[in-house]
Amino acid sequence: MKKFAIAASVVLMAMPSVTRAAEYLNGIEWKPPAIITPGKTNAGAPSDAIILFNGTNLDGWKNGENWTVKDGIAYSGKGKITTLESFGDCQLHIEWKAPEPAKGSGQGRGNSGVFLMDRYEIQVLDSYENETYHDGQAGAIYKQTPPAVNAMRPPSEWNTYDIFWTAPRFDEEGKLVSPAYITAMHNGVLILNHFELKGDTPFNRPPAYNPHPPTGPISLQDHGNPVGFRNIWIRPFQAATGEQVRDPFLRNGAKETPIK
Ligand code: MG
């Protein structure tokens, strides 16, 4: 306990002029994710994808008018943008590029974020040669887990996120039935594998689940840094369905028996 108290007081002493709500600290000392160099990645949207941004406009987003679209790239502007459409389980592809030249440090360099259901953040940050707390670096589920590795490209290059999202389920009383899970690739590299979220991802309190509808919008964060985005597409996901219409084949050459 004493250790935690000391750590907290050091942080407070280091931030004497902080006026916002106190920062939530989860107390985990993460090992630094290994830094790796990703291979080439392919960006083509499959035929059944819903295109959320194709380089021309942000008409499908609330507050899109306060961001800038230039040369096929959407740059984060004033306030977050939020899709008009809502999604539950999904596959989301998004490409992003940190401002160049790199400016600022830690959480102040190339910070944005992809929020699933407008409340669960996978961090967007320039984590190329930029130290910050590991559960706040690019690919982290903010304040819950770092990415397994740091697959960040330098600011002059595009990054891709491929996110596989399982929405949390709540019952009619709003009780959590099953948590959210995320699998994610950063530049084609697996960084989160079926990670179970502990709840939402705020700055100033521990994660918590608060009941919400089964679908919600995707939002992209404005953190004061002009991060570029392109090629954003999504596929609502439903697992294959089928009906058992006959017995599974039996061994020893026995004939199948129709059920219906
Ligand atoms: Mg962020």
Residue 31 is assigned to a structural domain of this protein: no
Summarised one tens digit per residue, pLDDT across range 151-177 is 999 998 999 999 999 999 999 999 999
Q: Judge contact between 235 and 50, C-beta under 8 A.
A: yes
Residue 90 amino acid letter: C
Asked if the peptide bond before residue 32 counts as cis, ω within 30 degrees of 0, the response is: no
Angle value at C-alpha 59, between 117 and 94, nearest 5 degrees: 50
- For ligand 1, the distance from its centroid to the CA atom of residue 203, given in whole angstroms, is 10
Residue 58 is assigned to a structural domain of this protein: yes
What's the predicted TM-score (pTM) here? 0.86
The neighbouring-strand residues paired with 133 are: none
- 232: domain CATH number? 2.60.120.560
Query: CA-to-CA distance for 155 and 88, rounded, in angstroms?
Result: 31
Range of the domain at 148: 38-239
Number of domains in the chain: 1
Residue in 87, 89, 128, 80 with CA at minimum distance from that of residue 105: 128
**Tokens standing for 144?**
């819950």
Residue 185 is assigned to a structural domain of this protein: yes
Residue in 109, 137, 107, 105 with CA at minimum distance from that of residue 123: 137
- For ligand 1, the distance from its centroid to the CA atom of residue 125, given in whole angstroms, is 7
Residue in 47, 123, 114, 122 with CA at minimum distance from that of residue 83: 114
Residue 14 is assigned to a structural domain of this protein: no
Residue 127 is assigned to a structural domain of this protein: yes
What is the pLDDT confidence band of residue 247, given thresholds at 50, 70 and 90? confident
Summarised one tens digit per residue, pLDDT across range 223-240 is 999 999 999 999 999 999
- For ligand 1, the distance from its centroid to the CA atom of residue 5, given in whole angstroms, is 26
pLDDT at position 11 over 60: no
Q: Residues with beta carbon < 5 A to ion ligand 1?
A: 111, 113, 221
Determine the pLDDT at residue 2. 43
